[in-house]
Amino acid sequence: MTAYRNPSDILMKTIATSARESNRSNRFRARLACLAALSTLVGTPAWAYDWAIIGAHVVHIEGTYMPTVVPFNVDKPGGNCAAGATLQYTGHGADTPTAQANTKAIYALLLAARLTNTPVDLYGNSDCSVSFVHLD
C-alpha cells in the first residue's frame, strides 16, 4: 500500500484511476456499438422490389394455400400486375415454422384490411409476388 503524505495526493490518485477506468469503459462501449451495427448490417437481408402500390384496398383473399402462401387481389395495378390480378405473398423466415408464422401474420393483416376497408401499401416483383405489406 502506498503511503500518501497529504489529502491532495489521494485525490489526484483517485482522479487518475477513475479517468483510466472511464476511458476503458468508453472504448468498450464504442466497440460494442460498432459490433452491434455490423451484425445488424450483415444479418439483414436485402429485399428488393420492382413496384409499389400505395393505398390499395384488398378485394379478395384466398386461404387455400395457408400457411405457406396467401393469394389475394387488390383494386389497383402494380408493375406488370393489373388491378384485380392475383398477387401472392410467401412467408419469410429462417425456417419453415418462422415462415409459416409470418404468412399467418400477413393473412391476418390482409383480413383485417379487408374487413375494415383499410388501405394497404404493397411492394412486390414483376411476377406478382409481394415482398412487403404495410397497413395504412
Task: Indicate the domain borders of the chain.
Answer: 1-44, 51-135
* Neighbouring-strand partners of residue 72: 61, 87
pLDDT score recorded for residue 15: 61
Residue 106 C-alpha from the chain's centroid: 14
pLDDT < 70 regions, the chain: 1-26, 28, 30-47
Q: How far apart are CA 110 and CA 130, in angstroms?
A: 12
pLDDT score recorded for residue 41: 47
pLDDT score recorded for residue 116: 96
Those residues with Cβ within 8 angstroms of residue 35's Cβ, 6 or more apart along the chain or in another chain: none
Three-state secondary structure call for residue 75: coil
Is the overall model pTM greater than 0.85, yes or no?
no
pLDDT score recorded for residue 22: 62
Contact indicator for 76, 83 with CB cutoff of 8 Å:
yes
Phi-psi group of 71: left, alpha or beta (phi > 0 → left; psi -120 to 50 → alpha; rest → beta): beta
* CATH fold for the domain made of 51-135: OB fold (Dihydrolipoamide Acetyltransferase, E2P) (2.40.50)
